[in-house]
Amino acid sequence: MSRTHTPVVEQWFTGDGDGFTLLGTRCAACASVFFPREDSHCRNPGCPGGDLEEVPLSRRGRVWSYTDSRYRPPSPYVTDPELPWQPYALIAVELLNERMVVLGQAVPGVTVADLAVGMEVEVVRGVLHEDAERVWTTWQWRPTGETV
């Protein structure tokens, strides 16, 4: 029986492969972009407020900073306490068009030793964790290997 792929948060990302993107919203009045998505009202204090439309965010950006989690994070982060803890890297990525920084996990296997501030990365679909019924999906950052 195949398990359902379920996004860890609904409507924060969409697609697969090269078509995978984070989803934000954009104010029709002032063009401000929000991620996590803002669906009730534009947060620009100088804007009277406009319709908020869903927009994909840039797929590529540059590493603003990075770190890792050497100890098991507490719940609601889901881990298997039976298994030894495997640290993973976290990357804060600057999206140049949106002029914003978005945090995410690195793809499995990429450690802090592989990263540098300014390096180009792209967003890909990843698996956060799996249980009996579902595969919980998330976004992850992967170095493109291209020098910027």
Partner 1 sequence: MTAEVAVLGAGMHPWGKWGRSFVAYGSAAARAALADAGLEWRQVDSVVGADTVRGGYPGYVAGATFAKALGWQGARVASVYAACASGAQAVNTARTQILAGLAEVVLVVGADAAPKGFFRPAGGDRPDDPDWLRFRVLGATNPTYFGLYARRRMAVHGDTPEDFAQVKVKNAAQGALNPYARYRNRVTAEEVAASAIVADPLRLLDICATSDGGAALVLCSMEFARRHGVGDPVRIRAVSTVTPRYPNTVLDLPDIATDSAATVEPAGETFRASIARAAYEEAAIGPEDLSLAEVYDLSTALELQWYEDLGLCGEGEAVKLLREGATALGGRIPVNASGGLASFGEAVPAQAIAQVCELTWQLRGDAGARQVAGAQVGITANQGLFGHGSAVIAAR
| Site of interaction with partner 1 (CB under 8 A) | 8-9, 30-36, 43-46, 64-71, 73-78, 88, 90, 92, 97-105, 112, 116-118, 128, 138
Q: Does 148 bind Zn ion (CB under 5 A)?
A: no
Shortest gap between Cβ of 1 and partner 1 (angstroms)? 25
Q: What residues contact 87, with CB distance under 8 A and at least 6 apart?
A: 68, 69, 70, 111
Q: Does 90 bind Zn ion (CB under 5 A)?
A: no
C-alpha 78/C-alpha 31 separation (Å) is: 36
Comparison of 1 and 124: residue with beta carbon closer to partner 1:
124
The two structure tokens encoding residue 91: 């990357």
| Interface positions with Zn ion (CB under 5 A) | 27, 29-30, 32, 42, 44, 47
